[in-house]
Amino acid sequence: MTAPVTQVAVNPPVKLEMTAPVTQTLAADGFIVQFMMPSAYTLATLPEPLDPRVKLKEVPEQTVAVIKYSGTWSQSNYDEHLARLTKALSQAGVETQGEPVYSRYNAPFTPWFLRTNEIWFKVK
């Protein structure tokens, strides 16, 4: 063996601060979780994910119908607000497409009464 042995990181890791919202959508094999990236980055300048399951993609601008609420991340709280949004959209004659998107804006340690949650539906 020769000395010294050196090592240079080709793509050094980049730590990004938490971004909001974090969204979750039902998929055939579980859930799709999306993290919004800081606006200072483009798809070309974002660091490459270390986990091969993480994919980077640009989501085109879209119009969504939203209900905003606070509280726990429980299924019952979600179901209650999903029903409210679905009813309001139906009464207004608004057509949607795709699955509802559950959006969370706070860290898990945020007290439940200070959390901001939303449910989005893509509008046709």
Where along the chain do its domains lie? 63-124
**Span 62-71, pLDDT tens digits:** 999 999 999 9
pLDDT computed for residue 11 by the predictor? 66
3-state secondary structure the chain: CCCCCCCCCCCCCCCCCCCCCEEEEEECCEEEEEECCCCCCCCCCCCCCCCCCCCCCCCCCCCEEEEEECCCCCHHHHHHHHHHHHHHHHHHCCCEEEEEEEEECCCCCCCHHHCCEEEEEEEC
pLDDT computed for residue 38 by the predictor? 86
